[in-house]
A and B are shown apart, each in its own frame.
Chain A
Amino acid sequence: MSNLAVDLKQKTTSKTKINLEVSKAFKIWISALTIAFLIGGYFIVERFITGLAATNLSSITPWGAWIAFYIFFVGLSAGSFLLSTLIYVFGMEEYERVGKAALFTAIVCMIVALTFVLMDLGRPERLLNAIIFWNVTSPLAWEVHFYMVYIGLLTAELYIAMREDLVRAAKMNTLKGFVARLITFKNATINAATKKRDHMWMKILGTIGIPLAILGVHGGTGTIFAVVKARPAWNTALFPIIFVVSAMVSGTALLLAMYIIKKKVQKQPIDQGMVVSLSKMMVGFLIIDLGLQFYEYLIGWYGLEAEHLDSLATMMASEKAWSFWGVQMFLGAVVPITIVFWKKTSQNINALLAAAVLIVIGIIGVRFNIVVPPLVVPVFHELPWGNYAPTIKEWMVSVGVVAMGLLIYSFGELLLPIEETSDEVSHNGK
């Protein structure tokens, strides 16, 4: 009960804040993002005019940075969604404060991921062909369909999670109230029956979502790579599993980082217990991920297959190996694990924030190391080797797309009751 009272108090404080104008920090943040988006937008337009000649891709290395970012964001999405299921399906109320944010992050990450796919197509205007002429043996075609269903499910779930807040907000004369009135029914109310109904639907949707996110969305994205028998470094059954686990790593890390940063900017109290336990979970996933990767590399290496060895060598012992040892292993694994387990830093919010951010960066490295090295090695030794590093244009397009995603997220938080904590979960747990 006391727990509930605290919640209610927090709710009222946060609501009085919303009544005010948007904060200065928010304005600066939005203008910075808009500038980034406009600069990126210039390159996006240019990319559509010049086509893929704007990239450093070739027929030997046909996929590069944009595909890496695409799987990175799909991973973030699947990871944050799975985290939200911990709350809404398994009733882990201690993480409730990030629940709706997790769902909304999952949606925005999916939008960003699909935009990266669009950037990467040679013929973006034909994107719908993958839906119209669905080839059932193609994992990529399946994924496009899974993504659509998944986004729909996430949206439905987010709506239900927000419903009570929306109904409450609709009575207020703020921007949020206006939006809430637009998207709620006139006769929407909150009572015991609707509460029960909402809980039930959250549970049902969350439960459908778990296999969809694991097998369909992220395992499926791993499958896109794993089925390619032409590239031995991808063609293992462990691959989709590594995808899912690393999705959990990056999703948890992202939500943790976002939670801390937001609370810091808004100068609100940070729930230290939750931060510490989330970071333990994040590192737990990371260690499982490292274990799986270890076996993946060991078995590939032990097989002594020339192409597989070449792929491993390109990743770990070429001039681009810094992205494996430096980003993926040191920044993305060694440092954060140390931070979380070292006594001096394990309770320090700032250090844990750094760990989370490093893990997110490390997973970007992981994604690049998945996509690029096996595509640098040619399928026959006599064919020319690839030499790929993203061009400035590719980076700028990526900046633009990510800025777009952050803008969507920021405006979503401004207009929708994403942060308000309801007593939803405390009931669920009982």
Chain B
Amino acid sequence: MGLFSNEKKVDYDKIVDKMLPDARKELDESQYDTELGLNMARDARKVISGKLKIEDFHKVYSSSLTKEFGNYYASETPDTKKKSDGPKWAMVIDLKKCVGCDTCTVSCKAENRTPPGISYNVVMESLEGEFPNIKAVNLPRPCMQCDKPACAQVCPTRATYKMENGIVAIDNDRCIGCRYCIVACPYGARSFDFGDSYEQEMVGYNDVTSPEYGKERGNREKGKTPIGTVRKCSFCFHRLQRGEEPACVETCIGDARFFGDISDPNSVVSKLAASPRAFRLKEELGTHPNVIYLR
């Protein structure tokens, strides 16, 4: 069926081609450049079919258009990249509110059904000062979804990449498991899936996996992706898709975590990120994390 309709379409195309006046002839009659007109028509079709970006189209032709028609006729590149292009996700963690209960760690494990040995989120606990003047510092650490991610920089296959919404994604179907990204992440946010399972302690653990990065993978099986590849926190991308906050944000008992769109200056995270208490981990490395802490 598809074949037939296809052939017919080609026929129509031909008929239309015959009915249309010959572009070259028509343009030759005008006082303006024929080649320019033909080229622009060809590329305009590309723009419509999505093969060429409108910005590139303008970039290519604006100078020749100015030459041909003078400043008056040439139009500027339309500003398609609006600021409100969609959210850019960020998280703010208030260390003053964190009590170190590890609820986030547990809820993350439950949500993402991570196997033994893998925890996307950990709470790093340390003591500061000399006894008796000591204070406990709890530092929850998800993946920072860096703006300049060291992991994506070194990944040989581009399996790790930065999405437009700010989340650093792993394409587990492409990852070759070289673990260079684990080595390169300054925050220790990545883990290798060795294929371990809780099936012994927890009946049915293998039956369901979490749809990480929005991809349903069914049950967990020996040798099946993501086993043999690298995994990390995705800001619960699959929950964001349904309009929910990441599991750690939702379950935090101290309400220490905030989540939102950092590109919107009126969002809670933007305002908190502007606070003098705000800092990021290992800022000196230039990774520019999107997880912001309040000290």
Q: What residues make up the interface of A, taking CB atoms closer than 8 Å to B?
A: 50-53, 57-60, 62-63, 117, 120-124, 126-127, 129-130, 132-135, 137-141, 144, 224, 227-231, 375, 378-383
> How close is B22's CB to chain A, nearest CB, in angstroms?
44
Q: Is the CB of B176 within 8 A of A227?
A: no
CB nearest to A228 among chain B residues: B184
Is B229's CB within 8 Å of the partner chain A?
yes
Interface residues of B in 106-131 (CB under 8 A from A): 117-118, 122, 124-126
Q: Is the CB of A51 within 8 A of B156?
A: no
The digit string for B181-197, where 1 denotes a CB below 8 A from any CB of A, is: 01111111011111110
Q: Is the CB of B159 within 8 A of A122?
A: no
Q: Contacts A122-B228, A230-B150, A379-B185 given: A51-B118 contact, CB under 8 Å?
A: no
Q: In the complex, A312→B172 CA distance in Å?
A: 35
Q: Quick one: which of B117, B122, B155 has the most chain A CB within 10 A?
A: B155
Is B157's CB within 8 Å of the partner chain A?
yes
> How close is B265's CB to chain A, nearest CB, in angstroms?
31
Q: Quick one: which of B157, B193, B227, B230 has the most chain A CB within 10 A?
A: B157
CB nearest to A126 among chain B residues: B176
Is B158's CB within 8 Å of the partner chain A?
yes
Q: Which of A120, A124, A127, A230 contacts B185 (CB 8 A)?
A: A230
CB nearest to B227 among chain A residues: A51
Q: Is the CB of B192 within 8 A of A135?
A: no
A-B contact pairs, 27 of them (CB 8 A): A50-B195, A52-B228, A59-B118, A62-B179, A63-B183, A122-B176, A122-B193, A122-B229, A126-B157, A129-B156, A130-B176, A133-B157, A134-B156, A138-B154, A138-B155, A141-B157, A224-B180, A228-B150, A228-B184, A229-B150, A229-B186, A378-B188, A380-B124, A382-B139, A383-B122, A383-B124, A383-B188
The digit string for B284-295, where 1 denotes a CB below 8 A from any CB of A, is: 011000000000
Is B2's CB within 8 Å of the partner chain A?
no
Query: Which B residues are in CB contact (< 8 Å) with A132?
Result: 157
Q: Which of B118, B155, B177, B186 contacts A379 (CB 8 A)?
A: B186
> How close is A141's CB to chain B, nearest CB, in angstroms?
4
Query: Which B residues are in CB contact (< 8 Å) with A126?
Result: 157, 174-177
Q: Contacts A120-B178, A133-B157, A229-B285 given: A53-B195 contact, CB under 8 Å?
A: yes
Q: Is the CB of A228 within 8 A of B183?
A: yes
Query: Which B residues are in CB contact (< 8 Å) with A227?
Result: 154, 184
> How close is A381's CB to chain B, nearest CB, in angstroms?
7
Q: Is the CB of A62 within 8 A of B183?
A: yes
The digit string for B145-178, where 1 denotes a CB below 8 A from any CB of A, is: 0000010011111110000000000000011111
Q: In the complex, A130→B159 CA distance in Å?
A: 10
Query: Which B residues are in CB contact (< 8 Å) with A50?
Result: 195
Is B204's CB within 8 Å of the partner chain A?
no
Give the size of the chain B interface in residues (CB under 8 angstroms). Answer: 44
Q: In the complex, A413→B154 CA distance in Å?
A: 39
Q: Is the CB of B122 within 8 A of A121?
A: no
List the 9 shortest-distance A-B pairs measured between CB atoms, nearest first.
A122-B177, A382-B124, A141-B156, A230-B186, A122-B228, A62-B179, A59-B191, A140-B156, A379-B188
Q: Is the CB of A59 within 8 A of B180?
A: no
> How close is B163's CB to chain A, nearest CB, in angstroms?
16
Q: Contacts A123-B177, A383-B122 given: A137-B154 contact, CB under 8 Å?
A: yes
Is B238's CB within 8 Å of the partner chain A?
no
> How close is A148's CB to chain B, nearest CB, in angstroms?
13
> How close is B234's CB to chain A, nearest CB, in angstroms?
16
Q: Quick one: which of A59, A62, A126, A138 has the most chain B CB within 10 A?
A: A59
Q: Which of A62, A121, A133 contacts B158 (CB 8 A)?
A: A133
The digit string for B213-241, where 1 denotes a CB below 8 A from any CB of A, is: 00000000001000111100000000000
> How close is A387's CB to chain B, nearest CB, in angstroms?
14
Query: Which B residues are in CB contact (< 8 Å) with A144?
Result: 156
Q: Is the CB of A129 within 8 A of B174?
A: yes
Is B257's CB within 8 Å of the partner chain A?
no
Q: Quick one: which of A58, A230, A383 has the most chain B CB within 10 A?
A: A230
Q: Which of B139, B179, B285 contacts A122 (CB 8 A)?
A: B179
Q: In the complex, A375→B125 CA distance in Å?
A: 21
> How close is B81's CB to chain A, nearest CB, in angstroms?
23
Q: Is the CB of B194 within 8 A of A52?
A: yes
Q: Is the CB of A123 within 8 A of B157?
A: no
Query: Which A residues are in CB contact (< 8 Å) with B155?
Result: 135, 138
Q: Is the CB of A140 within 8 A of B180?
A: yes
Q: Quick one: which of A57, A62, A130, A228 has the most chain B CB within 10 A?
A: A62
Q: A51-B194, A124-B176 are in contact. List 11 more A-B contacts (CB 8 A).
A: A60-B188, A62-B182, A63-B183, A122-B178, A122-B179, A122-B228, A123-B175, A130-B156, A138-B154, A141-B156, A231-B183
Q: Is the CB of B176 within 8 A of A379?
A: no
Q: Contacts A59-B117, A224-B180, A231-B183 given: A122-B192 contact, CB under 8 Å?
A: yes
Q: Is the CB of A58 within 8 A of B117?
A: yes
Q: Which of B126, B176, B196 contacts A121 (CB 8 A)?
A: B176
Q: Quick one: which of A134, A228, A231 has the most chain B CB within 10 A?
A: A228
Q: In the complex, A127→B67 CA distance in Å?
A: 51
Q: Is the CB of B285 within 8 A of A230?
A: yes
